[in-house]
Amino acid sequence: MINDIQEIILTPEQIRNQIKELGLKISSDYQSDPPLLVGILKGALPFLADLMRSITIPVIYDLMAVSSYGASTKSTGTVRIIKDLDIVIENRNVIIVEDIVDTGLTLQYLVENLRSRKPKTIKVCTLLDKPSRRVAPIQPDYNGFEIPDVFVVGFGLDYAEKYRNLPYIGVLKEKIYQNT
């Protein structure tokens, strides 16, 4: 797997330190009314787990699974909810926890879908933000790292279900995905 990586752009230590900062910020912002974290499967799972451990106030979480990519490197533009929430979010503070915000189309759909369920507040926390690719007018409220327009894998991010287990964020060599 390591031979498929062009370069490492975020080390495990950089990721760990930034997640701690995000956890402290969320803890401070929600001290009087803890949030429900909504992790978006599968990519956000490592981020969600580390983020929860970095939050110093009581917190609960639930998971959603959506699909807009399939085995491609580009979004299809059609978002499908594969697994919905088990917890009712009405009158709760909700933070959507995402691995990466790219075009913003999937996230825009999720925010609109969850907003229709009448939460008290809804915010977005992402590990990675790629604003150069943004199509939808959406901006994360909590952002780990802004990255350039490169195809990244690792720390939950995948290509065709591979590379999620890498402890860092790396740029995937183009020859690996060029035929999709």
Indicate which residues carry an active-site annotation: 102
The Cβ of residue 111 has, within 10 Å, a number of other Cβ atoms equal to: 18
The H helix count followed by the E strand count for the chain is 4, 9
**Which bin fits 10, alpha (ψ -120 to 50), beta or left (φ > 0)?**
beta
Distance (Å, rounded) from C-alpha 172 to C-alpha 146? Answer: 17
DSSP string, 61-75: EEEEEEES-TTSSS-
Task: Identify the residue whose tokens are 């498929």.
Answer: 4
